[in-house]
Amino acid sequence: MNKIQMTTPLVEMDGDEMTRILWKDIKDILLLPYIDLKTEYYDLGLPERDRTNDQVTVDSALATQKYGVAVKCATITPNAQRMDEYKLHQMWKSPNGTIRAILDGTVFRTPIMVKGISPVVKNWKKPITIARHAYGDVYKATEYRVPGPGKAELVFTDEQGKELSRQTVYDYECPGVLQAQYNKDSSIYSFARSCFQFALDSKKDLWFATKDTISKKYDHTFKDIFQEVFDKEYKEKFDAAGITYFYTLIDDAVARVVRSEGGYIWACKNYDGDVMSDMVSTAFGSLAMMTSVLVSPDGKYEYEAAHGTVTRHYYKYLKGETTSTNPIATIFAWTGALRKRGELDGLQDLCAFADKLDEACIATIEGGTMTKDLAGLWEGDIPANPVDSRAFLEAIRGQLEQRL
């Protein structure tokens, strides 16, 4: 067959450890035989980030701004152990955090559902997408261990040095802890627009939840900005698309989510999204079956798997042992990016290929062939046939060939 042609390159961000090995295998087995793949390549593996003083991460994000679509392999965010293991010059920041900051993007995570692996919540029939505002809040908070009795105050001074507000947080009568967190209107507006745009693109209802009844300034600002953006920019578009925007308190949202059938986008503040994305992914089956896409408010997309670099399997691989590492989320990162590239460039054959590869992945698992992590969750009528990673990719290729 003639290879599918591309007109605009994808930004390709390579990664670390076992997912880096799978990255090459996925390209060799499932992509390059069928697509004249055009990418602008950036090596975000830890050695290259260290060699370039992390400039390669910045360059990859700027390239995403230029070309509009990127696909990213899982990467290591180093700790003290990794500093020693990789002989790093410093403990580099999370590449995901750097890319998010440059693109001003929101992370959307969606489970991949297959027949034979049932969600823990029995009435969930459709995927639930978590949209996490990955900025500020407790992750950038300033903290202080209070040594003893005294007054804690919240003070704001404007750029001219004039004190505009001074409020007592608490009069401590004993030791304790103190924390101050922040957010910005500009980031919340970007978060809201990304969520509304993603809901339109995927034609799904959007839910948003905070605790504005308790947090009457902080959380209420989120609620007010979302409502403003919806009313001014998206209400007519949502009506035309037949989808809805729904706001409720976070505790009510949790109860509604558990009782629902799924099939919507659930937008959460930073901490809520961090917790709920893990809850949703685990309840649907496996973090290895969870897609992740970063969407900027001006329509730039970066696709990746939601999981990490699978370090344990990588050490086995280095010893020459065969591993059964699940590549599904990484494959779906590629198909998501290829589909979006096809949509933006008007390449229907590229979109169709992405759809067929997704179908081939699902059909392979539903036919009983899967990696060992899924075999432990399998409830299908056909006995599970756990295989190693390469055999699994070859089985997917067999299913793909039937569809081309």
Could you tell me if 125 and 270 lie in one domain? yes
Count of CB atoms within 10 A of residue 48's CB?
Answer: 16
Confidence band of 136 (pLDDT split at 50, 70, 90): confident
Q: Which helix (H) or strand (E) holds 119?
A: none
What are the residues facing 184 on neighbouring strands?
A: none
How many residues appear in the chain? 404
Counted domains in the chain: 3
The model's pTM: 0.89
Shared domain for 133 and 277, answered yes or no, is yes
Domain identity same for 312 and 219 = no
Query: pLDDT, tens digit, for every residue of 353-389?
Result: 999 999 999 999 999 999 999 998 999 999 999 999 9
Residues 25 and 64 in one domain: yes
Where does a domain end: 239, 267, 284? Answer: 284
CATH of the domain at 227: 3.40.718.10
Shared domain for 373 and 225, answered yes or no, is no
- Please write the tens of the pLDDT for every residue from 55-102: 999 999 999 999 999 999 999 989 888 889 999 999 898 899 899 889
348 and 245 co-located in one domain: no
The 10s digit of each residue's pLDDT in 276-317 is 988 888 888 777 899 999 999 888 999 999 888 999 999 999
Q: What is the pLDDT of residue 355?
A: 98
**pLDDT tens string 317-345:** 999 999 999 999 999 999 999 999 999 99
Residues 6+ apart with CB under 8 A from 138: 179, 181, 270, 271
Specify the pLDDT at position 329.
95
In this structure, the answer to whether residues 253 and 223 fall within a common structural domain is yes
Distance separating alpha carbons of residues 350 and 36, to the nearest angstrom: 10
Q: Are 220 and 125 part of one and the same domain? A: yes
Average pLDDT rounded to a whole number, residues 12-21: 97
Among the candidates 284, 313, 331, a domain finishes at 284
Domain boundary among 128, 154, 180: 180
- Same structural domain, 338 and 392: yes
Q: Which residues of 155-192 are buried (b: 16+ CB within 10 A; e: fewer)?
A: eeeeeeeeeeeeeeeeebeeeeeeeeeebeeebbbbbb
The number of beta carbons lying within 10 Å of the beta carbon of residue 398 is: 14
| Contacts of 48 by beta carbon, 8 Å cutoff, 6+ apart | 56
By residue range, what is the domain housing residue 47? 1-117+290-404
Mean pLDDT of the chain: 94
The helix (H) or strand (E) run that includes residue 223 is helix 218-229
Q: Are residues 307 and 280 in the same domain?
A: no
Q: Please compute the mean of the pLDDT values over residues 46-50 and round it to a whole number.
A: 96
- The pLDDT value given to residue 134: 79
Contact present, 370 and 392 (Cβ < 8 Å): yes
Q: Is residue 234 domain-shared with residue 261, that is, in the same domain?
A: yes
Shared-domain flag, residues 21 and 107: yes
